[in-house]
Structure 1
Amino acid sequence: MTTSGGGAELIPGLDDLPRVPVGEPEGEDGPGKGAGKARTGAGQDTKGATKNGVKGKGAGKRAKGARRPAEELPVARIAVDISLAHLDRPFDYLVPDELDAKAVPGCRVRVRFAGQLVDGFLLERVAESDHEGRLSFLERVTSPEPVLSPEIASLAREVAERYAGTFADVLRLAVPPRHARVEAEPVKPSEAEGAEAEAGGDSAEGAPDAERNAGGEPQPGVWSEYPAGPSFLTALAAGRAPRAVWTALPGPGWTAAIARAVAVTLDAGRGALVVVADGRDVARVDKALEAELGKGRHVALTAELGPAERYRRWLAVRRGRARAVVGTRAAMFAPVAELGLVVLWDDGDDVHAEPHAPYPHPREVLALRAHRAGAGALIGGFTRTTDATQLVEAGWAHALVADRVRIREVMPRVRYVGEDAQLARDAAARTARLPNVAFEAARGALETGPVLVQVPRRGYVPGIACGRCREPARCSACQGPLSLASSHAAPYCRWCGRIAGDWHCPECGFFQVRAVVVGAKRTAEELGRAFPGVPVRTSGREAVLDQVGPERALVVSTPGAEPPAEEGYAAALLLDGWVLLGRPDLRAGEETLRRWMNAASLVRPEGPVVVAAEGSLPAVQALVRWDPVTYAERELAERREVGFPPAARMASLTASPAAIWELLADTRLPDGAEVLGPVPVPAPPGAVEGQERERALVRVPRRAGHALARALKEAQGVRSARKATETVRVQIDPLELI
């Protein structure tokens, strides 16, 4: 274990504060006395105590009130809450005898570091320290609750190394903020009984016993629709670690399948962790788990709960009162005891991408947890990502899919715009936004139920142009794109919000505009006129519908906000396919197919789905055949040929040009590394005007990914030790490369 070097290093940004020697105990001649003789730094000791906590030469002459180290295991190794790369290591401190009982591994503490009191976690207690200088005492134990388990601490260290980040940054994602009132709450009798039932392997009250076999293989339930499904459950029931990439059948049955796998895992005496994209999916899985397990055997973790309630449920998991967890991406670090299964649903959803450093992805974190704990893994979705396909081709996981006969029975009937038969009847079928085939499909389906209309853009008219020369309309102040909020509103800038009521085209002087891209609100308005008397409902960023009834209605939704219908949608219209497919993104085709299939999966079997896109495109053909596996395998093969992720590993460096080149100069790149760029990137919101930002990409073969992360972290440490004024944002395998 690396310990502090005992130097006079101060935290950058805190240099203007009084430089108090870290080792000076409070109450001994005041802070700072003797600083000329003693080392400053996190590794300084008090008078009369050696590095091992044993009484030294002057120990018998301690001043009155001097702190004494604990008799047993007096040295505590502390992970200090500092995100500086060159200080990313544990530091040794002495445990005073008055804190001996409270200073347990995993608890929160306060220590003096570089003259300031900072938070930290106590990782372990040992008898001796490797540091040759003096050690300072812990200031206090914030809470004796052991919130950081050894398994999560070890995982956090590995995640930090994997993503070129710091241990402190990962712990901020892994351990929620403390709520003292919640920690002090007494355990409810029902929770205690639930914990005892879990420990004894008994079923909780209300759990359906009909689905459990006393001495044989588990009942497969909905997993019987997949040839390998029953064997997957059998392996979980036997305590083994099956790993599968699951391509789910369309329909609402995926929640019941996850609940059945969790139930089998809990019956085998192990815990389960389920991570989904958003709170609506959490609610659906939570309902399925309660129906499968009964009450009291699992918890749901979401941000909507509020800090106190979320911490209360998180503590229930940490204390072992709940063995199954379902939550959003933050739940990937939930401290589930004796982990036996990790589940990730819809791993291609960009909501899974963590926006905070070091930007870990749940797919990688859960794969690490499954490997370290010897647990099973289930990565599922209606479609398949190239990253999941990489796991299958590497042999880490097996494919779990239904046979083609069953797929044809439950899939919707997909048609694309521009077929020869359509063009013979409607010459404008290829160019019309709502061609006749889509109009007829919606009109016929409305007689039996609701119709889903997916629109890629939110708002009314998010993009406008000159009505004469088609020049894009831009703000005269910041050159941002102009939009319309309604049919009677003046154009406004989407960047700065400035109203452009007197806009005229700078090219031709024309003052009228036309729509370039139509949003969900304008689409709902147009459909209301096309289908008089039919209710039109919208679901998007402003208000997301949880569910719609079986009555006839048009539901206009943006991708990801589609509400399920009680009896399934009678039809679906997937409009403006060119907007999704035309994005300048490496994953544009893969992401488009995912959004289409997620929407089409809400349609009843054999129900019509009309996609407004060219039928010869690979993504459209994969949707028509309902074959995302072949599409993902083809996409991965193409990326392997050109050296793009996930076939290769990439790091994105974003900062000013000078900072990027400084970091690259300090980085010992592995063999085969290739630097692409840097190229200019748009400034983030709130950035200083005129500040130039660029992005460079570093590409290496997949086998050199760990070496690249280690080299970038070392270079970040060099810049941190120099107290560089600018931070370079380093992302390993970012979702967006452009």
Structure 2
Amino acid sequence: MSSANEDPAAGPAGGAEQLALIRESVRKAKEPRAKPRTWRGAALAGELPVARVLVDKGLLHLDQYFDYAVPAAMDEQARPGVRVRVRFGARVVRGRREGGELHDGFVIERLPASDYPGPLAPLAQVLSPEPVLGPALLKLCRAVADRYAGALADVVQLAVPPRRARAESGPPPDVPPPPARPDAGTWRRYATGPGYLDALADGGSPRAVWTALPGPHWPDELARAMAATLASGRGALAVLPDGRAVARVDAALTALLGAGHHVVLTADSGPEERYRRWLAVNRGHVKAVVGTRAAMFAPVQDLGLAALWDDGDSSHAEPHAPQPHARDVLLLRAAEEHCAFLLGGVSVTVEGAQLVDSRWAAPLAAPRERVRAAAPLIRTVGDADQARDAAARTARLPSAAWQVTRDALRHGPVLVQVPRRGYVPRLACERCREPARCAHCAGPLELAEGPEAGSSGTLHCGWCGRPEAGWHCGACGGVRLRAQVVGARRTADELGRAFPAVPVRTSGRDGVLDQVSGRPALVVATPGAEPVADGGYAAALLLDGWALLGRPDLRAGEEALRRWLTAAALVRPAGEGGTVVVVAEPTLRPVQALVRWDPAGHAVRELAERAELGFPPVSRMASVTGTPAAVADLLADAQLPEGTDVLGPVPLPVPPPGRPRRPGDPPPGESWERVLLRVPPGTGAALAAALKTAQVARIARKRTDPVRVRVDPPDIG
């Protein structure tokens, strides 16, 4: 074990150095001190004088524990799991400690002795006697760090919220007794739904991939699954993609069980209140948690159910190192804590299909007659239809969509899903469809934002902002422009002119609506920002489907279907007149899956294709990105598992001048490349361990050129 207060290259201190150190300690002990954090020579704890500490550094080559001496004054408070401050990096030079900075850390365990031969620095301060890093949470963080080739300290930062001292005080809340077993409710629509709830209430650990029926009932169904788990005396955890979904499940749980049985963990509650709620869970006062991504680490005691809603949503992927996904974290928890697992959504991801295919989880779906009764009518408008439709060539809406909108507005609101925000995000040549580019920096040309610009608004570059007065197409010489993808605000403006007596509301990044009334209105929303309508929408228009399907991404079809299903699920059933019009080629597989309302079948076929091609999730992959020399250096050091496929390297595109830097872009003036590593099933852990070891070896050789490693990258193209 290491000590953080001495140069590892130096040998044990000799007799003269020890004598000088004792004299220095005596002299320092006589000096008045305002705080005990720099005491030297203080009396140590009697029985367990050594604390093994995880120092909050987050560096791969320091991904280990360090031993510190425990002063007698801190003996009672320095328990495993508490936050401490330690001096890290100090050295013993000529009998004196020099240097070292104070860092936060966590006590992992207390020991009677250390296997480090040199002198130990004492703990500087116990920040709080509250044990916040328990054994189960530490084990989970270690498993996540190993899976993603990351540092334990980085994962702990994600799992344990920052301390707020006032939240730790106050009387404990009353712990409610376990609730009664809930009624199955709308779970009866699913063949195995009531049996799943019974298994939870009886203390079992069933695992299921739940294909939820369209409509407003899924929050109540998820709440009943959590209530059944609480009835067995165990805890429950549900992770959802955003605060609006959390609010719906929170309301359903409160209506079902009353207040006090659960807490909500989201960023909207503020740091202090969120920490207070997290402490209530950590102390065992509350046994049910509903929250967004960070709640995947919530320390629910005696966890009986880990549930995840809409795992295909990108918000479930943590952007901070080591970038874990909530689905994988909850799968680890289900395996380690032997609890039930529920992966739900109106769509099914390929990962969900793999869980069913491997028989790790069972499908939980409704019979086809139930699906047909709950789903809206789906109509398609393809390229051939638009070619025959004179109105579609000149207007925003094809004739079929316009007719459905006009009829539906007599009965309620109409949802219009647009893939992009803004007014006219991208422009192209009307003659040859070549994208319109800036003559200075080759950035995309845009029209002025807002309806007041009109069709003759001033062109400007979306990267450098320069106006472009005399644009002409470099490919064919044309001078007329058309919109590639019309944004939400432009769509709202055009629909407002087409239906002047109908109110038009927008929901997107600039302002997301939670709910709209059941009165006739046009609601223009970007994917993921669709508000819930009282009584459901009378119709929905899914515009520019080719923009979702044409993305150069392995998940393009799966993601397009997920976004369409999410919007269509807000529409009334076909028996009540609900209709959805999707503007996309009807022969494409995702469009056919939408027409049949068969997300599970689509996921199964996608899984079969990926298995044939060796793509995730059938195989495990990692990306290595950096300069050519850095990538080659790391791969030379890595002891990759047998059977690893090395794909690449391929150069990364250099960001054009004037465009703001994005995450993953190479530094200015550098040319980076990427290598993909693919391994067969069962060797993902070995791949992560090999890459982490190679990273540590490069740091030990003081290689300063950065190289980025990401396990299970979402964008492999």
- Tell whether the structures are fold-level matches, with TM greater than 0.5: yes
Tell me: CA distance 1:133–1:492, structure 2 relative to 1, closer, same or farther (3 Å): same
1:8 corresponds to: 7
1:608 corresponds to: 579
Do 2:4 and 2:67's aligned partners in 1 also have CA atoms closer than 8 Å? Answer: no
Structure 2 residue aligned with 1:455, among 399, 404, 418?
418
Does residue 725 in structure 1 map to residue 700 in structure 2? no
1:390 corresponds to: 354
Matched ranges for 1:586-597 at <5 A: 586-597=554-565
Cα deviation for residue 601 of structure 1 reads 0.2
Matched ranges for 1:191-340 at <5 A: 192-193=173-174, 195=175, 197-198=176-177, 201=178, 203=179, 212=180, 218-340=182-304
1:42 corresponds to: none
More deviation, 567-576/137-146: 137-146
Does residue 186 in structure 1 map to residue 157 in structure 2? no
2:379 corresponds to: 415
Cα deviation for residue 437 of structure 1 reads 1.2
Structure 2 residue aligned with 1:514, among 475, 478, 482?
482
Q: Distance in 1 between matches of 2:440 and 2:270?
A: 40
TM-score (norm 2): 0.89
Does residue 706 in structure 1 map to residue 685 in structure 2? yes
Cα deviation for residue 688 of structure 1 reads 4.0
Matched ranges for 1:456-605 at <5 A: 456-467=419-430, 470-484=433-447, 485-487=449-451, 488=453, 489-501=457-469, 503-506=471-474, 512-605=480-573
RMSD over aligned CA atoms reads 2.6
Q: Give the match's secondary structure for 2:494.
A: helix
Tell me: CA distance 1:481–1:419, structure 2 relative to 1, closer, same or farther (3 Å): closer
Q: Distance in 2 between matches of 1:378 and 1:283?
A: 19
Q: Distance in 1 between matches of 2:701 and 2:250?
A: 49
Tell me: CA distance 1:413–1:77, structure 2 relative to 1, closer, same or farther (3 Å): same
Matching residue's letter, 2:704: T
Do 1:84 and 1:717's aligned partners in 2 also have CA atoms closer than 8 Å? Answer: no
Q: Give the match's secondary structure for 1:311.
A: helix
Cα deviation for residue 512 of structure 1 reads 4.7
Q: Distance in 1 between matches of 2:373 and 2:482?
A: 44
Cα deviation for residue 657 of structure 1 reads 2.1
Does residue 96 in structure 1 map to residue 71 in structure 2? yes
1:434 corresponds to: 397
Does residue 146 in structure 1 map to residue 138 in structure 2? no
1:30 corresponds to: none
Cα deviation for residue 490 of structure 1 reads 2.5
TM-score (norm 1): 0.87
Cα deviation for residue 496 of structure 1 reads 3.6
Q: Give the match's secondary structure for 1:703.
A: coil
Does residue 68 in structure 1 map to residue 67 in structure 2? no
Q: Give the match's secondary structure for 2:532.
A: coil
Which sections of structure 2, spanning at least 5 residues, go unmatched?
Answer: 24-38, 90-99, 656-660
1:77 corresponds to: 52
Structure 1 residue aligned with 2:82, among 89, 107, 114?
107
Q: How many residues align?
A: 675
Deviations 1:450-484 (A, max 9, x none): 00011111111111124555432223343221222
Do 1:179 and 1:311's aligned partners in 2 also have CA atoms closer than 8 Å? Answer: yes
Q: Distance in 2 between matches of 1:430 and 1:405?
A: 38
Deviations 1:221-242 (A, max 9, x none): 1211111111111111111111
Q: Give the match's secondary structure for 2:616.
A: coil
Cα deviation for residue 534 of structure 1 reads 1.0
Structure 1 residue aligned with 2:370, among 403, 406, 428?
406
Q: Distance in 2 between matches of 1:570 and 1:439?
A: 14
Do 1:84 and 1:720's aligned partners in 2 also have CA atoms closer than 8 Å? Answer: no
1:177 corresponds to: 162
Do 2:387 and 2:393's aligned partners in 1 also have CA atoms closer than 8 Å? Answer: no
Q: Give the match's secondary structure for 1:526.
A: helix
Tell me: CA distance 1:433–1:117, structure 2 relative to 1, closer, same or farther (3 Å): same
Q: Distance in 2 between matches of 1:157 and 1:293?
A: 35
Do 2:386 and 2:398's aligned partners in 1 also have CA atoms closer than 8 Å? Answer: no
Cα deviation for residue 678 of structure 1 reads 2.2
Cα deviation for residue 726 of structure 1 reads 3.1
1:13 corresponds to: none
Q: Distance in 2 between matches of 1:35 and 1:274?
A: 60
Q: Give the match's secondary structure for 2:119.
A: coil
Matching residue's letter, 1:274: A
Q: Distance in 2 between matches of 1:727 and 1:322?
A: 44
Structure 2 residue aligned with 1:163, among 148, 162, 183?
148
Deviations 1:181-238 (A, max 9, x none): 222x312xxx522x2x34xx3x4xxxxxxxx45xxxx521121111111111111111
Q: Give the match's secondary structure for 1:192.
A: coil
Deviations 1:335-364 (A, max 9, x none): 111111111000001111111110100101
Q: Distance in 2 between matches of 1:594 and 1:262?
A: 25
Q: Distance in 1 between matches of 2:511 and 2:252?
A: 24
Matching residue's letter, 1:600: A
Matching residue's letter, 1:446: L
Q: Give the match's secondary structure for 2:533.
A: coil
Do 1:46 and 1:136's aligned partners in 2 also have CA atoms closer than 8 Å? Answer: no
Matching residue's letter, 1:242: P
Cα deviation for residue 656 of structure 1 reads 2.1
1:209 corresponds to: none
2:97 corresponds to: none
1:362 corresponds to: 326
Q: Distance in 2 between matches of 1:239 and 1:544?
A: 40
Cα deviation for residue 687 of structure 1 reads 6.1
Tell me: CA distance 1:567–1:718, structure 2 relative to 1, closer, same or farther (3 Å): same
Q: Distance in 2 between matches of 1:221 and 1:95?
A: 56
More deviation, 100-109/296-305: 296-305
Identity of aligned residues (%): 59
Do 2:666 and 2:672's aligned partners in 1 also have CA atoms closer than 8 Å? Answer: no
More deviation, 91-100/311-320: 311-320
Does residue 123 in structure 1 map to residue 108 in structure 2? yes
Q: Distance in 1 between matches of 2:513 and 2:497?
A: 22
Matching residue's letter, 1:701: P
Deviations 1:252-286 (A, max 9, x none): 11100011011111111111111000111111111
Structure 2 residue aligned with 1:618, among 585, 589, 598?
589
Q: Give the match's secondary structure for 1:282.
A: helix
Cα deviation for residue 142 of structure 1 reads 1.3
More deviation, 73-82/719-728: 719-728
Tell me: CA distance 1:358–1:425, structure 2 relative to 1, closer, same or farther (3 Å): closer
Do 2:159 and 2:298's aligned partners in 1 also have CA atoms closer than 8 Å? Answer: yes
1:662 corresponds to: 633
Q: Distance in 2 between matches of 1:573 and 1:269?
A: 46
Does residue 674 in structure 1 map to residue 645 in structure 2? yes
Do 1:417 and 1:429's aligned partners in 2 also have CA atoms closer than 8 Å? Answer: no
